């Protein structure tokens, strides 16, 4: 299993840590447990994967942990566990970047479903990042005129309108457009637009 699928459990209660580690491992997930947010942050050494953390902990609580992770950049999906009285705190955690919060006591399947959803999201984000990087590299290989034609296509303009904007004939636009499609390795106009938009979103 890739390191991206690793689930980190952060809780100051040893019984909770052991119980969650057993539950997640039984579901086929790789797990690491941490007795505090400080211990977790000190142990970070690469892709974080998914984080399951208690919201109320000594020293660094769940919200402070979220803020520390955000400062690092590359924010992982974080699921916050909370007691009933801590729901307002959990809502604050959501605003700070948590993807979900689960009230204790919770059904095992509720937690597993939340973790699976977080890991699926992580996989999609990684795939999108890879696509964006590949598209960005291909765009860098376009000439200035080819990039101008691409911008016109992304703006939804027809060849004639792009030609008027650039002072070239529609036929010349077609040639540049074919070059752009080839260099971007796009099989269709819709695929070309999607690649360009993927780069724009990152």
Encode pLDDT of 26-36 as tens digits: 999 999 999 99
Backbone φ and ψ for 51, nearest 5 degrees, come out as: -120, 130
**Residue where a domain terminates, one of 102, 127, 152:** 127
My answer on whether 99 and 50 are in the same domain is: yes
User: Looking at the domain assignment, is residue 136 inside a domain?
Assistant: no
Give the contacts of 38 (CB within 8 A, at least 6 positions apart).
59, 60
User: Rounded to whole angstroms, how far apart are CA atoms 55 and 45?
Assistant: 23
The per-residue pLDDT for 1 is 39
Q: If the chain, 202 residues long, is cut into consecutive pieces of 10 residues, what is the mean pLDDT of each piece?
A: 72 93 94 94 81 91 90 84 77 84 88 90 72 88 95 90 95 95 88 80 48
Among 1, 111, 108, which residue's Cα sits nearest to residue 51?
A: 111
**Residue where a domain terminates, one of 127, 162, 189:** 127
The per-residue pLDDT for 124 is 72
Structural domain span for residue 188: 141-200
Identify the bridge partners of residue 10 per DSSP, sorted by sequence position: 34, 53
User: Looking at the domain assignment, is residue 175 inside a domain?
Assistant: yes
User: Rounded to whole angstroms, how far apart are CA atoms 4 and 147?
Assistant: 35
Domain count, the chain: 2
Angle at which helix 144-154 crosses helix 159-166, to 10 degrees, equals 130
My answer on whether 103 and 70 are in the same domain is: yes
């Amino acid at each position: 299993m890739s390191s991206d699928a690793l689930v980190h459990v952060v809780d100051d209660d040893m019984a909770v840590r052991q119980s969650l580690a057993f539950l997640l491992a039984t579901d086929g997930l790789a797990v690491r447990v941490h007795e505090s947010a400080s211990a977790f942050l000190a142990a970070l050494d690469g892709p974080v994967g998914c984080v399951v953390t208690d919201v109320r902990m000594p020293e660094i609580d769940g919200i402070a942990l979220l803020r520390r992770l955000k400062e690092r950049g590359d924010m992982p999906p974080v699921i916050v566990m909370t007691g009933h009285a801590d729901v307002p705190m959990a809502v604050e955690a959501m605003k700070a970047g948590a993807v979900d919060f689960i009230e204790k006591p919770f059904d095992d399947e509720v937690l597993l479903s939340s973790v699976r959803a977080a890991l699926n999201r992580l996989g999609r984000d990684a795939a999108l990042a890879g696509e964006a990087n590949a598209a960005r590299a291909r765009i860098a290989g376009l000439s200035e005129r080819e990039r101008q034609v691409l911008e016109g296509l992304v703006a939804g303009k027809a060849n004639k309108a792009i030609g008027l904007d650039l002072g070239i004939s529609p036929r010349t636009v077609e040639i540049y457009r074919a070059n752009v499609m080839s260099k971007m390795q796009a099989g269709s106009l819709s695929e070309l637009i999607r690649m360009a938009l993927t780069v724009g979103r990152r």
